[in-house]
Chains A and B, each alone.
Chain A
Amino acid sequence: MTAASAEVGTRRPPWTVVAGRELRDLWLGGRGLPLMVVYALLLSVTSYLVASNQALNFLEQREAVSLTLQVAVAVGGLLVLLGAADAVSGERERATLESLLLVPASRRQLVLGKAVAAMSLWIAAFVVAMPYLWYLGHGVGVVTSAVFSGLVVGTLLALFLAGFGMFTSTLAGSNRLSLSVCLLGLLALYAPTQMPSGVQNAWVGDLLLHVDPFTAGLHFLGAVIVNGHSFGAEASWLIGPLVAAVVAVAAALAAAGQLTLGSGDRS
């Protein structure tokens, strides 16, 4: 009997081992902290600008909170996407994937562990955004609804982007391809926000805004924070992000089951 099998009763699920390693690599020796510093600077600039406009009565306090939260959700999502897009294709490119595929764990567990690390970027981004939301929104009773709505929308979008990024990274032959496809996809999701208002108000535009997880999620934040609507009244705007998150995570897990070494496996 091998030592490994003798200790089988005390083993941790492989995804937790992978997640632990990835979290250490990301936050202690990797890009996590530098990215958070840049993100915090961006939020500081945004907060300063919206606070200045608020002082000049160009923006209401609720609008300032909504705008800052939307920036936090969008940039937090972008960070998750970048982390996920690199997760598998990066290992493939650095030739470290084969060693990982040789461990007695399912491919899905390996990918799940990496997705957890990517999701940690959203959690960190949300925590960093909280003081800004409190500073901009205190006194008008909007902070609580902003925090909860931001948490719900941001988490759904982060799950969607983590799934999309992992799916792409699993199938892409190179890191460059994975990052390009992911960024292109993200830009396409922002495109409906640039539609003329006439098109947005037509039924096609309205459908597109509902279906697109980004526009739907950001619309939900605006409606809850700026207009003071209840979660229930605007729940239809959460269907798009929810469906997108479920589909993307399912697609990522399905692709993970077929994870291969990639184009470099010929000899």
Chain B
Amino acid sequence: MSGLLALEVRGLRKSYGDALALESLDLELGAGHILGFLGPNGAGKTTVVRILSTILRPDAGWFAVAGVPNSRPQDIRRRIGVLPESAGYPRGQTGEEWLTYHAQLFGRPRSSARGTARRLLGEVGLAERGRSLISGYSRGMRQRLGIARSLVNDPEVVFLDEPTLGLDPVGQVQMLRLISSIAHEHGATVVLSTHLLGEVENLCDAVLILSRGRVVAQGTVTEVVHRAAAPREALVQVSTQLVERTLRAFSSGAIAAEALANGAQGEVRLIMPAGMSSAVAATSVMACLLNADVPVLSFRLEGGRLSDAFLAVTEASS
């Protein structure tokens, strides 16, 4: 039922001339969740954000944001906040003036709009610079101002299109904290389009991966990683005298083993079957080595992260 969902999308499709930007998107997202919206450059992420924020019209399909159908675009805009990709800012206005202006456009009286602007400037860490011209802001400050702009109407759903683009590592961390606070303190649903896969893994409840306009993976991070069946490897270190025995231990099972070129260090690489979960992989390896009476000096499981799944599903689709 639409009322319980922050986002409901059915068969969304969009082309630019002959170029298909979005094939058919179906999506449901509950209120209060953070959705990681991933995909290589040109996958159609910005197109989706612009359609859902009513900037672009889809060629086909239907969607509802915060329970409002796409046939009422102004009502949708009243309930959403958006940080557009590569948004521009009026260089001749101060941050406070710009936020006040937008708060007024969302229907707040001038005095209330100014209060909202000051509160949001404080929340994004720009209280000290609110009365400075935007032309003097750094890239990170402008992005934070853009986040504040997306919150002037207390939105129910917030779309953030590449909010960390062009930020240094410190700026990225600050931005991700800010995004987390939008969901947890403002109680808004967040759709986060980004390339920072590691952070998505920690921050997002759900993930959707687009490639060439098609959904290639969707679900929780664990589900996506599992379904992607990304190749998984492990590195096990044993005593140099036991490398041969280790290789023999894995010779008949599903796990393939090979000694590394620098095998003198006693390192053996193990290749897991596709789709094997982390827990099963680790248990199987340890059981094998225990049975072969090989003491393990170190063990490191690699792969099986969102970045591996991302590469697997996007490469498979291209």
Contact = CB atoms under 8 A, between A and B. Distances in A.
B79 interface: yes
B82 interface: yes
Contact of A103 (B106, B112, B116): B106
A261 B86 CA distance: 13
Interface string B74-98: 1101111010111111101100000
Contact of B109 (A7, A98, A105): A7
Contacts of B44: 267
A30 B80 CA distance: 31
A103 B55 contact: no
Contacts of A105: 74, 105
Contact of B87 (A8, A98, A104, A265): A98
Given A2-B153, A14-B105, A96-B88, A102 B79 contact: no
Contact of B78 (A4, A12, A17, A98): A4
Please tell me the size bucket of the interface on B: 35 or more
B150 to A, nearest CB: 9
A18 B90 CA distance: 14
A177 B88 CA distance: 20
Interface residues of A, number: 33
B104 A98 contact: no
Interface in A216-267: 260-261, 265-267
Interface in B58-80: 74-75, 77-80
Given A2-B156, A4-B78, A99-B149, A266 B108 contact: no
Interface stretch (B46-54, B164-172, B226-234): B46-54
A102 B55 contact: yes
Contact of A4 (B53, B55, B101, B153): B153
Interface of A is mostly: loop
A10 B106 contact: no
Contacts, number: 100
A261 to B, nearest CB: 6
B165 to A, nearest CB: 13
Given A261-B56, A267-B42, A17 B84 contact: no
B78 A5 contact: yes
B21 interface: yes
A267 B21 contact: yes
A25 B92 contact: yes
A25 B93 contact: yes
B45 interface: yes
Interface in B106-139: 106-109, 112, 116
Interface in A14-47: 14, 17-18, 21, 25, 29-30
B108 to A, nearest CB: 6
Contacts of A100: 105
17 contacts: A2-B79, A2-B156, A5-B78, A7-B107, A7-B108, A8-B107, A17-B104, A25-B93, A30-B92, A96-B87, A98-B55, A99-B149, A101-B55, A104-B78, A104-B106, A105-B74, A267-B42
Given A2-B79, A98-B82, A260-B55, 15 more contacts: A2-B153, A3-B154, A4-B106, A5-B78, A10-B109, A12-B104, A25-B90, A25-B92, A94-B90, A102-B77, A103-B77, A104-B75, A104-B106, A104-B107, A260-B56
